[in-house]
Amino acid sequence: MMRLYFRAKLAIFALIMKLFADIGNSLLKASVSDGPGQRLVYQGPAESGSLMDSLRNLDIDGGLWCSVRPIEEGLVSLFESLGVTRFTAATPVPLRNRYLTPDTLGMDRLAAAVGAWSMKKDGNLLVVDAGTAVTFDMVTMDGDFLGGNIAPGIDLRFKALHEHTGALPLVGRDGAAPMFGRNTEEAIRSGVIRGLRNELKGYIAVLKREYKPLFVFLTGGDSHFFDMNGKSGTFVVPNLVLTGLESIFRYNE
């Protein structure tokens, strides 16, 4: 009995972790999980060396990763060495994918949709990922991923106004954004930030008439600009893609 006790204690200290990685246009986010929940271990450049440093002393065996862009070969090799596979259009998921061209669908969008659905199955879901681009995706309460829309994110909108006009300055996100801008800088900032908020409100207003009940999931680095915290039926989940990757991994185990 004593020998079995010490073996059990040893197993506790030698937990094998699963790795989940979301590589976006700007950052790589990685989390590890031993079953009950995820722990974010890295957020930074998509570099194999930096990620490897964050994984030291962790026993990784398996997991799932996705990327919206080509990545360095060293990073691919690192994932392969750890048994972490890539999430692709061929990977089975617990949703019915109604996208007409699944091979062109960003896997981060589908992963976020699965993540939201794994947390809330009793309603229709609008999943908004606000990053370099802003995506609006729809999941029905029957488990159908209907697809969605892609729009420029906050920084892309600022850059587009500056680079494709003759006189408008490049404006940053920090500063006043009143209802009506009192100078050119405020007018641009208010137009971009308030315009994006109104886009979301427009989607919600239209979809609530057609899909009842409707719940909204917000994720991504710029999700705080939507200012929807505390509103009924809205869930702010910072790392929803990672949540979805783990859900997909467990579904396939």
CA distance 84 to 132: 26
Q: Answer yes or no: are the C-beta atoms of 97 and 145 closer than 8 Å.
A: yes
Q: Answer yes or no: are the C-beta atoms of 173 and 158 closer than 8 Å.
A: yes
CA distance 53 to 33: 17
CA distance 244 to 12: 26
Instruction: Give me 30's structure tokens.
Output: 């990685």
Annotation marks residue 108 as catalytic: yes
- Cα distances from 8 to residues 2, 11, 14, 58, 151, in angstroms, run 10, 5, 10, 19, 51
Task: Give the Cα-Cα-Cα angle 84, 89, 95 (nearest 5 degrees).
Answer: 100
CA distance 180 to 184: 10
Q: Which of the following is catalytic: 22, 34, 108, 137?
A: 108
What is the layout of strands, in order, in the sheet containing 234-236? 96-97, 144-152, 133-139, 124-130, 214-219, 234-236
List the one residue out of 188, 196, 178 whose CA is nearest residue 131. 196
DSSP state of 46: S
Q: Which residues are catalytic?
A: 108
